Structure 1
Amino acid sequence: LDFIQNGCVLIKVRGNGSKYERFFRLDDECLSMYYRGSKKIKWLQGNSKDQSKEIGEVRDGPTSDVFVKSFNKLSESQCFTLVIGEKHKTLDLIAPNENAKVSWVKGLKHLLKKLSEADLSTQQEIWLKEVFRQADKNGDEYLNLKEVLALLKDLNIAVDLDTAKVVFQVCNDKGEDVLDMDEFMVFYNMLTKRDEIEQLFEEYNQEGQYWDVSELQDFLKKEQYTQMSSDGCMALIEKHEACPKVKGQGMMSVDGKVMYWFYSMLRSPFMDVFNPEHRSIYMDMTQPLSHYFIDSSHNTYLAADQLVGPSSTEAYIRALKMGCRCVELDCWDGDKGDPVIYHGHTLTSKILFKDVIYAINAYCFEASEYPVILSIENHCSVAQQRLMAAYMVDIFGDKLLREELEDGTTELPSPEELKGRIVVKAKRIPASALQENDEEGGYVSDEDESAEMEDESVKAELKKKEEKLKLAKELSDLVIICQSVSFKGFAHAKENYNFKQMSSYSENKAFGLVENEGLDWVEHNKRQISRIYPGGLRTDSSNYDPVPMWMAGNQIVALNYQTPDDSWHINQGMFENNGRCGYVLKPEFMRMPDASFNPQGPYLPKWKRKFKIKIISGYQLPKKKGDKNKSILDPYVKIDVMGVPADCRSEKTDHIKDNGFHPVWDESFEFDVHVPQLALVRFRVMDYESRSSNVMVCQFCLPFLSMQSGYRQVNLHSKYGEAIWGASLLVHIMIT
């Protein structure tokens, strides 16, 4: 840390190959890094008002797109990359030597880990200090009233001038017209006092200013529906009470030096709306692969639209690190004899197939040990197909599933059996085709998703293509359990296809099947895997609604990961479950051979639940992106229940004028949930606009059965799926 605090010259590398020498150093508080002569500060995660400037990840070696594209003879020992902000931009740096690189990588990783593991009060104190420093434009370590008011507006806190003056003077111990950092922290706490939490605390407080063990037990039993022993309650007090004297007496107070300590408990995983047990792998992982929903990406290589946008290995890294278990590779002949990946018949940029394979190999099991499926759309010549097979065999090694299943096997292997393995999904040459042709390969149908794009030039190009594609035996032999076949009806599939064969469906085809043949599709998906992909008209990389696809038991519901829209947020909520391992076990009625389920209904009455929720308040809500006039939010909350058609419903609170920091709604809603096993619940905080479209500022989605009852904290995420430090809703939930 001493070395990076003192700083050194690093070479900053850009995508066009240009290089700039800059003197980088860490600040004295070890909370941000910057280079000499610039105001471009990069904050360590969780310390900035602006998430776009935060360092979220430190990568060792030349693994980024910038390094891959710009340099061929670069020493790995000197390169490292910082991943910045919620859009995952990269800052690519070359150290003067290996020791300097190691110091930067180890030092920054250590600090990020330390910050992420800090308790809530420490994080709050760090955050307040940083927003103070960012508001202190002249660096004199004081804020005057004007600077304080500007900072409050940045933080979404609306306060009238008279009130601000009174509180400012109360906190001004030195009698001057400025506040130092400690005085500002007192000022902040006084203005952001949360009456609704104090009222809840007082409701179970028999006498005095503290809760004892019995009062905490009473609260947990009546409000949280949790039976906890005296020892368990003492452990909670030990963890969340700040005052040693109060803690030593086995009590808990409502406030402390920096923040509310009862609120500290409310903000803990124990009180989170998401069941903390579901943040670990708790489901049975020994069922056949067809019994799971699988987190999946469509056209994974694209960073933007489907027509002219860039292709990127970084897109694969990001998807895999987020838990995605099925990625897509559209493979075409490269001009220099090396296969490339891009969206065929378009102007999207091209990346080398082998670079993608290297990236997948490096990051495939970082977020989850469970199998990664490579969905290969193959348009290559036999020669370049052989190269594809050779790259996968050489780079993946023993990770690649190559061995055939044992004779007599009647179902797919399980995620547990395939742990640490990479599975190739593609066409496989039928045995009959191998016998009829040469031993080097055979012919298969050439199915191209791009054929759905209603562009005359594309259609004309496709008409020139033969209907059959010659497939290299070397590539065909790598396709073991996810063998792509054409869909010709569920009856045909049952009669002619085995469990290792699977079909892909465009969203348009899939929506029709869900509505008209949902019962048969659920039955089909007990044995075989189905993959859904966006329709060809979605050239903007928008997404379809994945919920109806899951309702029919479809496993691979592939979305455009580069587009953080409503559908992508729902997908994130679905796979937040089961330790975010990318595999979620389907309900029993979608797996058992003697059970039947039609997503259109009717549903068993015994499944039905009544869901009651009170939206109490919000806290530290972010400002909407691109707000030039720095206006304060007029927030309201939308709550959506999604699942089978009978369960889909939305409600919303009234909007609160000019209060994005601590709005109080105190509004209640009721929902009937007919199939809770498949339902999801989504919270969206919207900014009310009377003359234009309302904008979503943050959100969170989770499975209905992962939701905890009682008073709960909903920790909110950005549009890009990143947790927003401090932003939350306080709700009360009852499920009967």
Structure 2
Amino acid sequence: MDFIQNGCVLIKVRGNGSKYERFFRLDDECLSMYYRGSKKIKWLQGNSKDQSKEIGEVRDGPTSDVFVKSFNKLSESQCFTLVIGEKHKTLDLIAPNENAKVSWVKGLKHLLKKLSEADLSTQQEIWLKEVFRQADKNGDEYLNLKEVLALLKDLNIAVDLDTAKVVFQVCNDKGEDVLDMDEFMVFYNMLTKRDEIEQLFEEYNQEGQYWDVSELQDFLKKEQYTQMSSDGCMALIEKHEACPKVKGQGMMSVDGKVMYWFYSMLRSPFMDVFNPEHRSIYMDMTQPLSHYFIDSSHNTYLAADQLVGPSSTEAYIRALKMGCRCVELDCWDGDKGDPVIYHGHTLTSKILFKDVIYAINAYCFEASEYPVILSIENHCSVAQQRLMAAYMVDIFGDKLLREELEDGTTELPSPEELKGRIVVKAKRIPASALQENDEEGGYVSDEDESAEMEDESVKAELKKKEEKLKLAKELSDLVIICQSVSFKGFAHAKENYNFKQMSSYSENKAFGLVENEGLDWVEHNKRQISRIYPGGLRTDSSNYDPVPMWMAGNQIVALNYQTPDDSWHINQGMFENNGRCGYVLKPEFMRMPDASFNPQGPYLPKWKRKFKIKIISGYQLPKKKGDKNKSILDPYVKIDVMGVPADCRSEKTDHIKDNGFHPVWDESFEFDVHVPQLALVRFRVMDYESRSSNVMVCQFCLPFLSMQSGYRQVNLHSKYGEAIWGASLLVHIMIT
């Protein structure tokens, strides 16, 4: 820590391979890292109000795209990468020697861990120090009234000048026209007092300024639907009460000035809207693979659009680290004899197949131990197919599933049986196509499901091409359980295909099947896997709605991971479940041979739930991205329930004028949920605009059955799926 506080010169490597020497160090409080350029100082905050500069991850070694393209082998032991901001940009650095690299990597990882594990009051203090320092433009460690008012606007706090002056003077102990750090913290706490929380606790407070164990028990039983023993309540008090004197008497403070315990408890899993038990793997992982929804990506290599955007190994790393378990590799012959990955017949950039395999091997099981499926779209010659197979065998080693299933097996292996394994999904040469003594392989249909386009001229052009593809035996032999076959109807599949074979469907085909043959598709998906992918005209990498696909039991619902749109947020909400391991067990009625389910209905009356929710207030909501005027939000909340057609409905609160920091809505809504096992709930905070379209500023989505009843905090995420420190909604939920 001393070494990185004192700092040293690091080489900063850019994407074009150019290198610059910069002096990096930590600030005195170990809260931020900064570097000196030729004419400027840049800060890389931790826990700042500007998430675009936060260090999110520290990676050891030359794993980023920048290093892959420009890496000097002599520097391998000196390289490390910082992943910064919600867009996951990388800062790629080379230390002067290995010891210096180790100091930076270990030190920064230690600080990030320390920040993430800090209690609420410590995190609040760190955050306030950061915003104070950023507002202190002249660096004199004081803020005058003008600077304070500018900072409040930055923080989404609307306050009239007279009120600000009064509070400013009350907090100004030294009688000067400025506030120091400690005075600013008092000023901030006075302005952000939460009356709705104090009012709630006064209802359960018989007398005085404290809750005792019995009052806490009463609150938990009546409001949180939680039975807790006296010892359990004492443990909560020990964990969350900040005042040692009050804690020693077995009580909790109710006075708003010192009621940090409730803010602390709100941010804990105990009060989270998301059931903390579902943050761990709690589902049965021993069912056949076809019985799970699988977190899946389409065109995983792309970082932007489908026509001219860059291809990137970083895109694979990000998807895998987020829990994605099925990634796509579009493989083409490389000019130099090495297969490449890119979006064929477009101007997207090319990356080497072997570099992608190295990246997958390094990160495949970092987020989850359960199997990773490689969906291979193969356009390569036999010679380069052999290279693909050789790279996978050599680099993946024992991780690669190569053993045939035992004779007599009638169903797919389970995620538990495939833990730590990499599964290849591709075409396989049927026995009838293997010619005797033909060591090269055999012919398969060259029907390319993911090339399906709505454009008739494109279809006609594809039909002119050779309809048969010669497949290398070495690559074919790696396809064990996810053997790609053409879909020719559910009756044909039942009669001719086995459990190891699977088909892919464009979104247009899939939506028609859900609507017209949903019951048959659910039955089909009990024994075989289906993969859905975006239609060919989505050149902007937008996404289709995944919910109807899940309603028909489809396992691999592949989305463009590089596009954080509504569909991607819903996908993230679905796979928040089951410890974010990438596998969610389908409901029993979608798995059992004797059960029958049609997503269009009717639904069993015993499933139905009534969902009542009160949106009480918001807290510390972020500013709208790209707003050059830095205007304060006029926020409102949209609540979406998604699932079978009968359950899809949205409601919204009124908007609150000029209050993005602590808006209070206190509005209630009621929903009927017919199939709760498949429903999801999404919260969206929107900024009201009377003359233009409203913009989403933050959101959170979760499975209906993962919600906890009672007073709960909804911790909000950014457009890019990152948790926003402090941003939350206070809600009350009742499910009957």
**Shorter-chain-normalised TM-score: which range?**
over 0.9
8 Å CA contact 1:45–1:112 kept in 2: the answer is no
Give 1:76 deviation, angstroms.
Answer: 1.3
Give 1:41 deviation, angstroms.
Answer: 6.4
Report the equivalent of 2:487.
Answer: 487
Cα distance in 1 between the residues matched to 2:19 and 2:327: 33
Cα distance in 1 between the residues matched to 2:294 and 2:106: 34
Q: What does 1:218-229 correspond to in 2, within 5 Å? A: 218-229=218-229
8 Å CA contact 2:291–2:591 kept in 1: the answer is yes
Report the equivalent of 1:458.
Answer: 458
- The SS at the match of 2:43 is strand
8 Å CA contact 2:56–2:85 kept in 1: the answer is yes
Give 1:71 deviation, angstroms.
Answer: 2.2
8 Å CA contact 2:75–2:94 kept in 1: the answer is no
- The SS at the match of 2:217 is helix
8 Å CA contact 1:121–1:259 kept in 2: the answer is no
Measured against aligned partners, the alpha-carbon deviations of 1:345-377 in whole angstroms (never above 9, x if no partner) come to 111000000000000000000000000000000
Report the equivalent of 2:661.
Answer: 661
8 Å CA contact 1:201–1:262 kept in 2: the answer is no
Report the equivalent of 2:411.
Answer: 411
8 Å CA contact 1:345–1:450 kept in 2: the answer is no
Cα distance in 1 between the residues matched to 2:453 and 2:493: 27
Quickly say closer, same or farther: Cα 1:49–1:13, change in 2 above 3 A.
same
Return 718-727 or 463-472, whichever deviates more. Answer: 463-472
8 Å CA contact 2:223–2:710 kept in 1: the answer is yes
Cα distance in 1 between the residues matched to 2:98 and 2:456: 54
Quickly say closer, same or farther: Cα 1:650–1:74, change in 2 above 3 A.
farther
Report the equivalent of 2:101.
Answer: 101
Report the equivalent of 2:338.
Answer: 338
8 Å CA contact 1:427–1:476 kept in 2: the answer is yes
Measured against aligned partners, the alpha-carbon deviations of 1:231-278 in whole angstroms (never above 9, x if no partner) come to 000000000001111000000113577763222212211000000000
Measured against aligned partners, the alpha-carbon deviations of 1:186-233 in whole angstroms (never above 9, x if no partner) come to 000000000000001111001110100000000000000000000000
Cα distance in 2 between the residues matched to 1:41 and 1:704: 47
Cα distance in 2 between the residues matched to 1:488 and 1:40: 63
8 Å CA contact 1:254–1:263 kept in 2: the answer is no
8 Å CA contact 1:26–1:32 kept in 2: the answer is yes
Cα distance in 1 between the residues matched to 2:45 and 2:411: 45
8 Å CA contact 2:454–2:536 kept in 1: the answer is yes
Give 1:23 deviation, angstroms.
Answer: 0.7
Give 1:465 deviation, angstroms.
Answer: 2.0
Return 65-74 or 505-514, whichever deviates more. Answer: 65-74
8 Å CA contact 2:290–2:529 kept in 1: the answer is yes
Give 1:42 deviation, angstroms.
Answer: 6.4
8 Å CA contact 1:534–1:543 kept in 2: the answer is yes
Give 1:648 deviation, angstroms.
Answer: 0.1
Give 1:446 deviation, angstroms.
Answer: 1.2
Measured against aligned partners, the alpha-carbon deviations of 1:124-169 in whole angstroms (never above 9, x if no partner) come to 1110111001100111110000000000000000000000000000
Gaps of 5+ in 2: none
Quickly say closer, same or farther: Cα 1:450–1:413, change in 2 above 3 A.
closer
Give 1:47 deviation, angstroms.
Answer: 1.9
8 Å CA contact 1:294–1:326 kept in 2: the answer is yes
Measured against aligned partners, the alpha-carbon deviations of 1:611-638 in whole angstroms (never above 9, x if no partner) come to 0000000000000100101100000000
Give 1:448 deviation, angstroms.
Answer: 2.4
Measured against aligned partners, the alpha-carbon deviations of 1:670-713 in whole angstroms (never above 9, x if no partner) come to 00000000000000000000000000000000000000000000
8 Å CA contact 1:32–1:41 kept in 2: the answer is no
Cα distance in 2 between the residues matched to 1:439 and 1:11: 50
Return 162-171 or 37-46, whichever deviates more. Answer: 37-46
Measured against aligned partners, the alpha-carbon deviations of 1:398-421 in whole angstroms (never above 9, x if no partner) come to 000000000000000000000000
Cα distance in 1 between the residues matched to 2:259 and 2:13: 42
8 Å CA contact 2:449–2:504 kept in 1: the answer is no
- The SS at the match of 1:270 is coil
Cα distance in 2 between the residues matched to 1:40 and 1:324: 39
8 Å CA contact 1:42–1:54 kept in 2: the answer is no
Quickly say closer, same or farther: Cα 1:449–1:431, change in 2 above 3 A.
closer
Cα distance in 2 between the residues matched to 1:58 and 1:457: 48
Measured against aligned partners, the alpha-carbon deviations of 1:373-432 in whole angstroms (never above 9, x if no partner) come to 000000000000000000000000000000000000000000000000000000000011
Matched-pair identity in %: 100
Measured against aligned partners, the alpha-carbon deviations of 1:60-95 in whole angstroms (never above 9, x if no partner) come to 011000000112534210100000100000000000
Give 1:36 deviation, angstroms.
Answer: 2.1
Cα distance in 1 between the residues matched to 2:650 and 2:418: 39
Report the equivalent of 1:125.
Answer: 125
Give 1:45 deviation, angstroms.
Answer: 6.4
- The SS at the match of 1:690 is coil
Cα distance in 1 between the residues matched to 2:4 and 2:261: 35
Quickly say closer, same or farther: Cα 1:253–1:190, change in 2 above 3 A.
same
Quickly say closer, same or farther: Cα 1:122–1:508, change in 2 above 3 A.
same
Give 1:298 deviation, angstroms.
Answer: 0.2
Measured against aligned partners, the alpha-carbon deviations of 1:433-455 in whole angstroms (never above 9, x if no partner) come to 11468232011111324633456
Cα distance in 2 between the residues matched to 1:296 and 1:606: 32
- The SS at the match of 1:308 is coil
8 Å CA contact 1:427–1:444 kept in 2: the answer is yes
Measured against aligned partners, the alpha-carbon deviations of 1:90-111 in whole angstroms (never above 9, x if no partner) come to 0000001001101110100000
Return 247-256 or 656-665, whichever deviates more. Answer: 247-256
Cα distance in 2 between the residues matched to 1:287 and 1:555: 13
Measured against aligned partners, the alpha-carbon deviations of 1:546-573 in whole angstroms (never above 9, x if no partner) come to 0000000000000000000000000000
Q: What does 1:660-699 correspond to in 2, within 5 Å? A: 660-699=660-699
Measured against aligned partners, the alpha-carbon deviations of 1:702-734 in whole angstroms (never above 9, x if no partner) come to 000000000000000000000000000000000
Return 106-115 or 66-75, whichever deviates more. Answer: 66-75
Cα distance in 2 between the residues matched to 1:212 and 1:13: 58
8 Å CA contact 1:254–1:260 kept in 2: the answer is no
The two structures have a TM-score, normalised by structure 1, of 0.98
- The SS at the match of 2:197 is helix
Cα distance in 2 between the residues matched to 1:298 and 1:65: 20
Measured against aligned partners, the alpha-carbon deviations of 1:168-196 in whole angstroms (never above 9, x if no partner) come to 00000000000000000000000000000
8 Å CA contact 2:266–2:713 kept in 1: the answer is yes
Give 1:39 deviation, angstroms.
Answer: 8.4
Aligned residues, how many?
A: 736
Quickly say closer, same or farther: Cα 1:663–1:437, change in 2 above 3 A.
farther
8 Å CA contact 1:255–1:262 kept in 2: the answer is no
Quickly say closer, same or farther: Cα 1:163–1:612, change in 2 above 3 A.
same
Quickly say closer, same or farther: Cα 1:420–1:450, change in 2 above 3 A.
closer
Report the equivalent of 2:505.
Answer: 505
Give 1:43 deviation, angstroms.
Answer: 5.9
8 Å CA contact 1:86–1:720 kept in 2: the answer is yes
Q: CA RMSD in A?
A: 1.4
Cα distance in 2 between the residues matched to 1:583 and 1:221: 33
Give 1:33 deviation, angstroms.
Answer: 1.1
8 Å CA contact 1:121–1:258 kept in 2: the answer is no
